[in-house]
A and B are shown apart, each in its own frame.
Chain A
Amino acid sequence: MFLSSENLTRSFCMGEQTIVAVDHINLEVEAGEYIAFMGPSGAGKSTLLYLLGGLDRPSQGKICVAGKEITKLSERELARYRNQNVAFIFQDFNLQDHLNVLENIVLPLKFREVAKREREKIAMSLIERLGLSQRLRHKPSELSGGERQRVAVARALCGSPQLLLADEPTGNLDSKTGAEIVSLLSDLNKNGITILVVTHNHSVAQTAQKIYTIQDGKIVHCQLLSAASGGKA
């Protein structure tokens, strides 16, 4: 088992009210799986994703990734876990506006203490693969939505993660560009990367191998899809 969660719970206090965003979720993910989480807004999909990625800590329960219980890691160890094992793709790209394309892509390697020349070499191969060669020195504000998301994907891949977590990756893109990104994710999954994607979009979810439906912080349904259905958004 590559990733598992046991009784995973995340609750927030809002004044006197306690909101349970993730409610005792037990999850098992094999290495190389491609899973989509669907559900209404506020169901707890993104919260679950952030917990699995080590960006947030659960109120209860545990998460194991590659045999290591990440819920027991210190703040520093968790940061290292994120840097070396996980990559995020966000709906609104979350690129650094003051950095150019190349500088944005190499960001995870900076925190891995990779020398400038080496990290730029790694980034250049991704830049070519994602068709960003002409945009190398451009700032995010000078790019289209699709280009920005491709930069975000390149940044995610730059650190060669085992786990790719995408939170509404096509949410801010038109359908054509969205399809390009979905196709890209499928290709990455075929290359062995485990992908968990949160989406409202059925056609995006259809590219995954499993769809979990989440409601009120609980997994209420699991749908297995045939591998042949992947690749189309």
Chain B
Amino acid sequence: MLWQDIFTDAAHNLLRKKLRTFLTTAGVAIGIFTVFLTLALAVGIKNFLTYQMRTYGNTKVLQVHLKGGFSPERMLHSRMGGLGQTPKPLKDESTRFEMKMLDEEKLQQIRSLEGVKSVGPMVFAILNSIRLYQSEERFDVVQLPFIAGESLELVAGREFSSAAAAEVILSYSYVPAFGYRTPEELLGKEVVVSVARVPPAQFFLARMLKEKLKNFRVKIVGFVGEGLLSTAAYFPENFAIEMGRFSFGIDNLFTPQNYGFIARVVVNDEKHVLQVQSRIEELGFRASSVLEQLEAINKLFLTIEGVLSLFGVIAIVVACLGIINTLIMSIHERRREIGVMKAVGATQGEITLLYAVEAATIGLCGSISGIAIGMAVGGIGNVVAAHLYPGYWRAHMLFWLGDFTVLAALMLFGCIVGLLAGIYPARKAAKLDPIRALKYE
């Protein structure tokens, strides 16, 4: 039988029982829709978080501190009331938040490791507020480290003119906060950044203290995309050092004599980050990286995707049963037809193929419909999410709507699922005894 005839006959046969074919196809469509939408949601959220993590910190950068000198997880547990964990006995006499400073001698050990590009202090200051120059309305702000040569993804403007320039790159969220419509309108305008003086020992009480403030007037030169880091501000490194020294009240902070309590290690290649991280830890430091957190997120979402996919798989299994049922009913009704086909010379293979193509067509049509409905629902979901939570979902998709390769793979998957479901009925049809089939009433 020619392929053209097989496809024409399969389509013709399916259209003979339109309602039954529609309902079976709808079953497959629901299965594929469930798989598509759950994966779209999981991937959408994962992409969003990954983007935010990458925005928060460069993936080639490690934060290094001395053991017992600065433990973010311990501090978090303490400040949040233990986070449900049993209190652990402290091993030394140090206060819970004592900060041990890093110096050149300590960093030299890290600098000599293979794969390390540069080692320097993690420069930061405690910012109190930000406001437009000549405006009294103040806003929350947090300073994030800017690393020259490791570009930020700017949505408007440019990078800094020099390491000491009084310039700032802000989060896009400040555009509406300052009462503007586009970031371009704010480029070149000046803002006043208030830096709080907080001695290291009182670091975690900063917001409770009567802060001593110093104002820095800086020019807005760029904007980064909107996201979770909606109050982020980036400053040129030397300018940030000046703010940091005021903030912590230490004149030689961020110099080889006193690098502060966190070092910033830049690795040559993202591929070597985790390797370098483990070597640094072997030297007796604590190290953390965005990449490590990204890996944790990926593992978590892999689990979530797996669990969510299970629901889709259940729906697809039910759809498969629908296909099998439809084809078996069809075989009973078309017994005589199959007998005639055999009498005029159809081989078992040709009859198998004819039924298998019918099943695969149901699978393909179901997956196309499922994907189309999924894309429509996901698209509407994205619009609603962007409307309800513009800060999070205006620039990102809550439901990841895929690229051509993934969609094509999903269609192929639907087709294969249909084909597999059709194998048993197809073989059953092919093995019918032609004489019995011809005499079937």
Contact = CB atoms under 8 A, between A and B. Distances in A.
Given A55-B342, A111-B341, A79 B16 contact: no
A75 interface: yes
Interface in A110-140: 110-113, 115-116
A8 to B, nearest CB: 16
Nearest to B434: A55
Contacts of A84: 345
A79 B1 contact: no
B350 interface: yes
Given A55-B434, A111-B350, A98 B16 contact: yes
B178 to A, nearest CB: 71
Contacts of B13: 98
Nearest to B8: A116
Interface residues of A, number: 28
A76 B430 CA distance: 11
B340 A79 contact: no
B380 interface: no
A94 B438 contact: yes
A83 B438 contact: no
A108 B1 CA distance: 10
B336 interface: yes
A159 B344 contact: yes
Interface in A79-106: 79-80, 82-84, 87-88, 90, 94-96, 98
B348 interface: yes
Contacts of A28: none
B347 A76 contact: yes
B292 interface: no
A187 interface: no
A111 B342 CA distance: 10
B343 interface: yes
Contacts of A45: none
Q: Give the size range of B's interface with the partner.
A: 20 to 34
A6 interface: no
Contacts of B348: 75-76, 79
A61 B339 CA distance: 25
Contacts of A205: none
Interface string B2-21: 10110000001100100000
Interface in B337-389: 337, 339-350
A87 B5 CA distance: 21
B435 interface: yes
Contacts of A110: 1-2, 5
Nearest to A165: B343
Interface in A40-87: 50, 53, 55-56, 75-76, 79-80, 82-84, 87
A96 B347 contact: no
B336 A94 contact: yes
A86 to B, nearest CB: 8
Contact of B347 (A79, A95, A116): A79
Contacts of B2: 110, 113, 115
A224 B30 CA distance: 69
Contact of A83 (B4, B344, B349): B344
A80 to B, nearest CB: 7
Contacts of A88: 343-344
A204 interface: no
A155 interface: yes
A94 B337 CA distance: 8
Contacts of A76: 347-349
A107 B434 CA distance: 16
Contacts of B12: 98
Contacts of A116: 4-5
Nearest to A90: B438
Contacts of A82: 342-345
A113 B347 contact: no
Nearest to B346: A111
Contacts of A113: 1-2
Contacts of B339: 94
Given A76-B347, A80-B345, A112-B345, A107 B340 contact: yes
B340 A55 contact: no
Contacts of A155: 344
22 contacts: A50-B435, A75-B347, A76-B349, A79-B342, A79-B345, A82-B342, A82-B344, A83-B346, A84-B345, A88-B343, A88-B344, A96-B337, A98-B337, A107-B341, A108-B344, A108-B345, A111-B1, A111-B344, A111-B347, A116-B4, A116-B5, A155-B344
Given A88-B344, A113-B2, 18 more contacts: A50-B435, A55-B342, A55-B343, A75-B348, A79-B346, A80-B347, A83-B345, A83-B346, A87-B344, A90-B438, A94-B340, A95-B340, A96-B337, A108-B345, A111-B344, A111-B345, A115-B2, A116-B5
Instruction: List the 3 closest A-B pairs by CB distance, nearest first.
Output: A83-B345, A79-B347, A108-B344
